[in-house]
Amino acid sequence: MIPHVPIGRWVADAIDWLLATVPWLFDAISEVMSTVVNRLTDVLAAPAPVVWVVILAVIALLVRGPWLALYAVAAFLLVVSLELWVETMQTLALVLVAALIAAAIGIPVGILAARHRAVSIAVRPVLDFMQTTPVFVYLIPAVFFFGVGVVPGVVATILFAIPPGVRLTELGIRQVDREVVEAAQAFGARPGQILREVQLPLALPSIMAGVNQVIMLALSMVVTAGLLGAAGLGAVVVRAVTQLDVAAGVEGGLAVVLLAIYLDRLTASFGQRTALSRVLGTRRRGRAAPAEEDTPSSGQPVEEPALSTR
């Protein structure tokens, strides 16, 4: 017989030890997160819905184009008519905070993993663990650490959403044309310069695809967060499930889908040239053009030998 290896016991002991040793740490995290989410919710839900519908539509217009703007108006007005506006904004706040933190952790780790093989090898099983462990398994310690409410939901969402950020960042940097990186080295660029000026800009589409995935996964966690007592669309769905209320369930679910489509289409265009960057780009170039004429370099160079050009 193989003796039972008490892994579960060890983890539980470790969690008990953490709770006994640094309870203030979890309190602090809890305090900060709930404050941030609540403030953001206030900002999103306080004004009349039509204000934010217009703002979201304008963002869609600048980043993507008129079709997404049209969609935003229709989708969010539908949400208002379903009387789920406040819940939708609560969910949006939770998703934005969780996605921001997940990206803030995932992208740097992805950069490290791309630059150091050891980090890549060490991080990979951790990511596998985070992505495949059933969500409810780490809900339990999350509740121990942070109690019920919005914070354990955010934390669980962050853990779930980090892996694609890491993976797509690492992949993006590794896929940057080796010769271009080599060229930067050959001209004497420092590793930091190569990262900032070559690798990150060229990996941007892949990194932004990662951000898009982070946001979508965060959104898929809202129901779970609702289970833990976070207000929002998740709570609506959970209540509908417990009351076997099909109508409320469908409406809550639909609001999640409408929000998801909006966020996906918006962030899917991040890596590409957007309407906004086209506008900014032309303006930059427009400013640069007149400056060209009064610099001496557009005439004959001063001390260089005059060379014929073909």
Partner 1 sequence: MDRLSVTPVLQVTGLTKVFGAREADALRLASEGLGRDEIQRRTGATLAVHDVSFSVERGELFVIMGLSGSGKSTLVRLLNRLIEPSAGTVEVDGRDLRGLDDDQLRQVRNEKMSMVFQHFALLPHRSVRENAAYALKIRGAGAAEQRERADWALRTVGLLERAEARPDELSGGMRQRVGLARALAADSEVLLMDEPFSALDPLIRRDMQDLLERLQSELHKTIVFITHDLNEAMRLGDRILMLKDGRTVQLGTGPEIISAPADDYVADFTSDVDRTRVLTAGDLMREPRMTAHLGDPAADVLRALGAAEANGVYVLDDAGRVVGVARDDLLARALQEGRTTLDHRSVVAEHAGTTADRPVVEFVHLLGRHPVPLGVVDDDGRLLGVVPRAAVLDALSAVPVRGGVR
294 binds partner 1 (CB under 8 A): no
Measured from the CB atom, is 141 or 271 closer to partner 1? 271
- For residue 48, count other CB atoms closer than 10 A to its CB: 9
CA 264 remoteness from chain centre: 11
CB neighbour burial string for 4-16, b if at least 16 within 10 angstroms, e if fewer = eeeeeeeeeeeee
For CA atoms 30, 153, 266, 199, the dihedral sign is positive
Q: DSSP for 270-296?
A: TTS--HHHHHHHHHHHHHHHHHHHHSG
Measured from the CB atom, is 3 or 296 closer to partner 1? 296
Of these, 4, 117, 285, 287, which contacts partner 1 (CB under 8 A)? Answer: 285
For CA atoms 260, 66, 212, 40, the dihedral sign is negative
Only one of the segments 45-53, 75-83, 137-145, 195-203 lies at the binding site for partner 1 (rule: CB under 8 A); that segment is: 195-203
**Residues 165-194: x where in contact with partner 1 by CB under 8 A, - otherwise, as a string:** ------------x-xx-xxxxxxxxx--x-
CB of 115 to partner 1, least distance (A): 16
CA nearest 29: which of 146, 148, 157, 149? 146
280 binds partner 1 (CB under 8 A): no
Of these, 47, 66, 108, 301, which contacts partner 1 (CB under 8 A)? Answer: 301
Q: DSSP for 170-188?
A: HHHHHTS-HHHHHHHHHTT
CB of 177 to partner 1, least distance (A): 7
> Tokens representing 63?
């980043």
Count of residues interacting with partner 1 (CB under 8 A)? 30
Taking the C-alpha atoms of residue 93 and residue 86, their distance in angstroms, rounded to an integer, is 11
CA nearest 155: which of 30, 20, 70, 251? 30
Instruction: Report yes or no: 219 and 259 within 8 Å, Cβ to Cβ.
Output: yes
304 binds partner 1 (CB under 8 A): yes
CB of 172 to partner 1, least distance (A): 14
247 binds partner 1 (CB under 8 A): no
Measured from the CB atom, is 66 or 191 closer to partner 1? 191
First to last CA, the chain: 85
Measured from the CB atom, is 21 or 295 closer to partner 1? 295
198 binds partner 1 (CB under 8 A): yes
309 binds partner 1 (CB under 8 A): yes
Only one of the segments 9-17, 105-113, 138-146, 294-302 lies at the binding site for partner 1 (rule: CB under 8 A); that segment is: 294-302
284 binds partner 1 (CB under 8 A): no
At 133, phi and psi to the nearest 5? -60, 130
Measured from the CB atom, is 83 or 292 closer to partner 1? 292
Taking the C-alpha atoms of residue 247 and residue 84, their distance in angstroms, rounded to an integer, is 13
Task: Please report, as residue ranges, which positions from 94 to 153 form the binding site for partner 1 (by CB under 8 A).
Answer: none
Taking the C-alpha atoms of residue 217 and residue 212, their distance in angstroms, rounded to an integer, is 9
Only one of the segments 17-25, 122-130, 141-149, 290-298 lies at the binding site for partner 1 (rule: CB under 8 A); that segment is: 290-298
- Footprint of partner 1 (CB under 8 A): 177, 179-180, 182-190, 193, 197-198, 201-202, 285, 288, 295-298, 301-302, 304-305, 307, 309-310
